[in-house]
Structure 1
Amino acid sequence: MTGTPLRIGFIPLVDAAALLVAVDKGFTAAEGLDVTLVREVSWSNVRDKLNIGLFDAAHLLAPVAIASTLGLSQVKVPIIAPFNLGLNGNAITVSPALYAAIIGEADGDPANPMVTAKALARVVAARRKSGGEPLTFGMTFPFSTHNYQLRFWMAAGGVDPDEDVRLVVLPPPYMVDSLANGHVDAFCVGAPWNSVAVDLGVGHILHYVSDILERAAEKVLAVRETWALKNSEVLTRLTRAHGHAADFIENPDNRTEVSRILGAPERIGVDPEVIRRTLDGRLK
């Protein structure tokens, strides 16, 4: 007997863990759900496919759920989020050159985001005076905590994010290559891509954004409100499966298996050891 078929989109990020583990460990199947996971590259793809019904549910940026419900810069499609997939998952990673420039201008402890924000302002001013191009920062989507966190940090140090630098949208899996190729000078993204940049020697993690803004809701399990009203019992089962998956992930004894699941080529597609460091809170 087959279960209720569901198509769910996700972006290759560690905060999709509850969704990926729910499916790959059989928690969704135990709830009578036959889930097909669809790996996507960009948040606009995920949003649009959810909005028009190609996805029944999705791993989604929390601010996108709000923006879609309000019809901001897109069609108005009410979205609900019955399950929060993660908090505080982002970091700001900068190129070796920008890291050296910021540290060189830092007046105080560079672990303090205010110190680095003011140092960044001095770097920006020096580039402008010398006729250099504005620094380019990558973020994942206009309606994202990544965008808001970068802006908050910059503005605190006196940098106008709309005038003094360039903020560009990049899909999370493309951040590292963009930094390595010099297309951006820095980026704000979720795990594991900051650690991947460090391991490849193309970036330095400057800050965890939890040091800038605490308890920021990152990603959610999102469904259309109309779908939820028609499928409330299915949604209850899907949410329950995510809860069981989250409990499994939280058990330290399961971290190696979870890292293997997430690191698989069809999931996130990176070295499971990088995933394991993230789960253990050992980002570098």
Structure 2
Amino acid sequence: DPARAGKALGALIRERANAGRDPLRFAVVHPHSGHNFELRYWLAACGIDPSREIEIVIVPPPFMADALAAGRIDGYCAGEPWNSVSVVAGTGHIATVKAAIWKTSPEKVVGVRKAWAEKHPEALSALLRALHHAARWCEDPANRGELAALMAQPSFLGVSPALQMPILTGHLALGGGAELTVEDFFLPFGKAANFPWKSHALWFYTQMVRWGQIKHSAAHMALARDAYRPDLYRAALKPLGVALPGANAKVEGALTAATPVGSAGASLVLGPDGFFDGRIFDPDRIDDYLAIRDWAMPTS
């Protein structure tokens, strides 16, 4: 539970500060990664100032488990399987997961340069269709064994298929014998997982502004919004007749349950997409969102 885990972490941070000890050190994969923004969002909502009360450092994902075991960091936020690597080694526990902080939230992206896209439109469309078929194949439970064996190769993850299977099923070992099944933990295809929502781009933009990486301006906001191209995505997948959202953006966090929505093509279900602190993000009200001063959840 993100709220309970965050509350306990906040108490520990204050205890250490009162004792004059160094702040805890957390690792993320990149200053502009979703991991950095989601870690900060979680901590801030739990009443922890990630810019002042902890230290955030950059560590490549494959090295995080070793850094934790060696005591160089106290925790980290990374994609799987690197969290489970620490659990299996007995050197770490999973405190919470992104699927609980922001349900069905975006993770990885595929991006190309605008000039390349304009010069090679057919290649780009073929790439998007290939990714669509690959995502559908990866989500099929019948393919989990083959997928895990493929990713176990040294040229990919280089970790055993057995370690990957809990990730693919969503049944996680948290450490210390605790286990948890997380709904939609691995969601590469369903619920429009690959659709480039402009609201996702704008949420990441607000986090860049919030944590002082860029200044808020109409020009910067437009750059972020227009980097996501649902028009190209729709054009590429139209020949396949797949279900695609009719809108380019949505209010993030508004869906509390799986919800059928209007779409082009077959039927489509979205959500739930809630943030753990109950807030919503309306991409049409960016200024109001950035004006929020007290991000901490109400105490109960």
186, 196, 215: which one aligns with 2:104: 215
1:99 maps to what in 2? none
Q: RMSD between aligned alpha carbons?
A: 1.1
Tell me the TM-score normalized by structure 2: 0.56
- In the TM superposition, 1:1-284 aligns within 5 A as 112-284=1-173
In structure 2, distance between residues paired with 1:261 and 1:116: 34
Q: Deviations over 1:35-87 (max 9, x none)?
A: xxxxxxxxxxxxxxxxxxxxxxxxxxxxxxxxxxxxxxxxxxxxxxxxxxxxx
Deviation at 1:173, TM superposition (A): 0.8
Q: Deviations over 1:89-139 (max 9, x none)?
A: xxxxxxxxxxxxxxxxxxxxxxx3222222212111111111111000111
Deviation at 1:280, TM superposition (A): 1.3
In structure 1, distance between residues paired with 2:168 and 2:34: 20
2:179 maps to what in 1? none
1:30 maps to what in 2? none
Q: Is the 8 A contact 1:145 1:216 kept in 2?
A: no
Deviation at 1:225, TM superposition (A): 0.9
Q: Deviations over 1:148-196 (max 9, x none)?
A: 1111121122211111100111111111111011111000110100111
User: AA paired with 2:38?
Assistant: Q
The DSSP-based 3-state class of the residue aligned with 2:95 is strand
Q: Is the 8 A contact 2:64 2:76 kept in 1?
A: yes
The DSSP-based 3-state class of the residue aligned with 1:206 is coil
Deviation at 1:223, TM superposition (A): 0.9
Deviation at 1:232, TM superposition (A): 0.7
- Comparing both structures, which one devotes a greater share of its residues to strand? 1
The DSSP-based 3-state class of the residue aligned with 1:205 is coil
User: AA paired with 2:60?
Assistant: P
Deviation at 1:215, TM superposition (A): 2.4
Deviation at 1:231, TM superposition (A): 0.7
Q: Is the 8 A contact 2:5 2:96 kept in 1?
A: no
Greater than 3 Å deviation, 4+ residue runs: none
User: AA paired with 1:130?
Assistant: A
In structure 1, distance between residues paired with 2:30 and 2:172: 23
Structure 1, unaligned runs of 5 or more: 1-111
In structure 1, distance between residues paired with 2:43 and 2:138: 34
Deviation at 1:278, TM superposition (A): 1.1
In structure 2, distance between residues paired with 1:226 and 1:208: 37
User: AA paired with 1:175?
Assistant: M
- Alignment length (residue pairs): 173
User: AA paired with 1:210?
Assistant: A
In structure 2, distance between residues paired with 1:248 and 1:117: 36
In structure 1, distance between residues paired with 2:117 and 2:9: 45
Q: Which is bigger in relative contact order (C-alpha 8 A, separation at least 6)?
A: 1
2:202 maps to what in 1? none
In structure 2, distance between residues paired with 1:215 and 1:145: 13
User: AA paired with 2:145?
Assistant: T
Deviation at 1:283, TM superposition (A): 2.1
User: AA paired with 1:203?
Assistant: G
User: AA paired with 1:216?
Assistant: S
In structure 2, distance between residues paired with 1:208 and 1:157: 15
User: AA paired with 1:244?
Assistant: H
User: AA paired with 1:164?
Assistant: E
